């Protein structure tokens, strides 16, 4: 077994729907860069790779449609819906999103004697894709230790230990924990480079077959404690990067890979912006590069001042998403405490005054929350329409270790605690049948507003 070769895998998505809305396994790419810095040879398998050269030969699968700024559909193949959700009536086809099994197995066979296989995980209800890559990895490399980490492995740690098939499940996000685990299997790092505390090598985007966009993290953690979000559990300690280092990374990827589109993955991008993000934007203006920026993770509305909106417009932001969630201020006081009367209207006004148009300003509106009235969703869509923002409905997914989890378990007819498949937001697991019947009406309402701005 080679002491320095590691296979790192981003698994398939098994779901009713999936879309590449700037989706990259950033945590895995950071870990790949970190382990490469320690001397390991890294063979990355991204099962969600839309640009894999061998996929052109897969005549049975339709090539994915490309959309703006590097987004687009994944490769897709229909698969049986797993039990126990197989009998639930869903007007969508359950599919494996990503590479064909043939191409995946070819990638596994490309490394003859790996020292270990490292698998990441994302949504809790995507664990069947995790299990499939682990089973196939075990088949091809039967004596190689398989280590699982990521979001599912952390939020559903016991389930992952019992069901995933991995030899070891990590729920520690510190990359040094991976080195310790490898060491426990007798796999030592080939090198011991010196790194300043808190400094990580850049994520290994160069290992991807093609890079349409770069994902960035300027900070970790969030000061808010939204009841529906697990950010505080996954990242209990908030950290911010030096704004000058952020600019250096942007210019590095633009220079080395020719990338123009950059996507922020922060949970709290604009919080304390005067000492952080504003400095980055001001320095970016001085550089004078023609770049594009996108914020698929919701921005905190009250942080969008006139100055921030102007800086974002001047530096090339093209996709703005705001965390409106609901127009019900009383509900906000309970759920997150991050919105007061008039703040949404002021934020959208600031963005429009800065030069953004309504198509570029999206407002996320949550549906499917336990105890949420249908009428409140209609009112929230109307609010977005009235102030000039594009409403986007976001189905609530129950997440373990959040404050809303107990209420979700109470309202749901499914065994949320015992089966992560029931966390799937497509099921709207906390709404009853009468509420679910209103979904087409709500979606039509939101679409009609968005079409005004096309």
**Topology at the third CATH level for domain 211-451:** pyruvate-formate lyase- activating enzyme (3.80.30)
Per-residue pLDDT of 413-448, as tens digits, reads 999 999 999 999 999 999 999 999 999 999 999 999
pLDDT of 154 strictly over 70: yes
Location of each CATH 3.40.50.280 domain in the chain: 5-184
| pLDDT value, residue 336 | 79
pLDDT of 121 strictly over 60: yes
Mean pLDDT, residues 170-198 taken together: 88
SS (H, E, C) the chain: CCCCEEEEEECCEEECCCCECCCCCHHHHHHHHHHHHCCCEEEEEECCCCCCHHHHHCCCCCCCCECHHHCECCCEEECCCCCCCCCCCCCCCCEEECCCHHHHHHHHHCCCCCCEEEECCCCHHHHHHHHHHHHHHHHHCCCCCEEECCHHHHHCHHHHHHHCCCCEECCCCCHHHHHHHHHHCCCCCCCCCCCCCCCCCCCCHHHCCCCCEEEECCEECCCCCCCCCCHHHHCCCCEECCHHHHHHHHHHHHHHHCCCEEEECCCCCCCCHHHCHHHHHHHHHHHCCCCEEECCCCECHHHCCHHHHHHHHHCCEEEEEEEEECCCHHHHHHHCCCCCCCHHHHHHHHHHHHCCCCCCEEEEEEECCCCCCHHHHHHHHHHHHHHCCEEEEEECCCCCCCCCHHHHHHHCCCCCCCCHHHHCHHHCCCCCHHHHCCHHHHHHHHHHHHHCCC
| pLDDT value, residue 59 | 84
Residue 196: pLDDT band (50, 70, 90) is: low
For the domain 5-184, what is the CATH code?
A: 3.40.50.280
Mean pLDDT, residues 292-299 taken together: 96
Per-residue pLDDT of 78-94, as tens digits, reads 999 999 999 998 989 99
Mean pLDDT, residues 353-373 taken together: 97
Share of the chain above pLDDT 90, in %: 88
Q: What is the mean pLDDT of the chain?
A: 95
pLDDT of 396 strictly over 90: yes
Predicted TM-score (pTM) of the model is: 0.95
Location of each CATH 3.80.30.20 domain in the chain: 211-451
């Amino acid at each position: 077994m080679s002491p320095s070769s590691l296979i790192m895998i981003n698994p398939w998505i098994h779901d009713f729907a999936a879309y590449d809305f700037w989706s990259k396994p950033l945590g895995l790419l950071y870990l790949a860069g970190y382990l490469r810095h320690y001397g390991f040879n890294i063979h990355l398998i991204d099962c969600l790779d839309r640009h894999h050269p061998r996929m052109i030969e897969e005549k049975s699968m339709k090539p994915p449609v490309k959309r703006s700024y590097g987004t687009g559909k994944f490769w897709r193949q229909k698969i049986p819906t797993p039990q126990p959700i197989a009998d639930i009536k869903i007007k969508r086809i359950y599919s494996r999103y990503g590479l064909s099994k043939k191409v995946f197995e070819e990638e596994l066979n490309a490394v003859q004697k790996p020292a270990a296989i490292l698998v990441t995980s994302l949504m809790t209800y995507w664990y069947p894709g995790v299990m499939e890559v682990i089973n196939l990895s075990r088949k091809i490399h039967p004596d190689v230790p398989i280590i699982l980490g990521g979001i599912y492995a952390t939020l559903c740690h016991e389930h992952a230990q019992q069901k995933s098939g991995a030899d070891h499940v990590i729920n520690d996000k510190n990359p040094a924990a991976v080195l310790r685990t490898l060491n426990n299997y007798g796999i030592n790092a080939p090198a011991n480079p010196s790194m300043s505390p808190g400094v990580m090598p850049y994520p290994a985007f160069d290992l991807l077959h093609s890079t349409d966009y770069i994902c960035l993290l300027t900070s970790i953690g969030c000061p808010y404690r939204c009841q529906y979000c697990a950010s505080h559990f996954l990242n209990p300690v908030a950290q911010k990067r030096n704004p000058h280092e952020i600019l250096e990374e942007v210019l590095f990827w633009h220079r080395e890979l020719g990338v123009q589109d950059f996507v922020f993955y922060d949970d709290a991008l604009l919080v304390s912006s005067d000492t952080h993000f504003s400095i980055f934007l001001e320095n970016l203006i001085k550089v004078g590069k023609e770049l594009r920026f996108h914020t698929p993770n919701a921005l905190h509305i009250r942080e969008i001042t006139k100055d921030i909106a102007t800086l974002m417009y001047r530096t090339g932001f093209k996709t703005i998403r705001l965390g409106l969630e609901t127009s019900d201020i009383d509900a906000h006081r309970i759920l997150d405490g991050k919105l007061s009367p008039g703040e949404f209207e002021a934020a959208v006004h600031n963005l429009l005054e800065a030069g953004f148009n309504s198509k570029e300003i999206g407002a996320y509106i949550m549906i499917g929350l336990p105890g949420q009235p249908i009428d409140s969703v209609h009112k929230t869509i109307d609010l977005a329409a009235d102030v000039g923002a594009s409403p986007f409905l976001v189905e609530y997914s129950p997440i373990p270790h959040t404050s809303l989890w107990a209420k979700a378990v109470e309202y749901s007819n499914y065994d949320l605690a015992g089966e992560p498949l029931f966390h799937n937001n497509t099921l709207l697991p906390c709404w009853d049948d009468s509420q679910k019947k209103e979904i087409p009406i709500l979606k039509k309402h939101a679409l009609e507003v968005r079409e005004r701005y096309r």
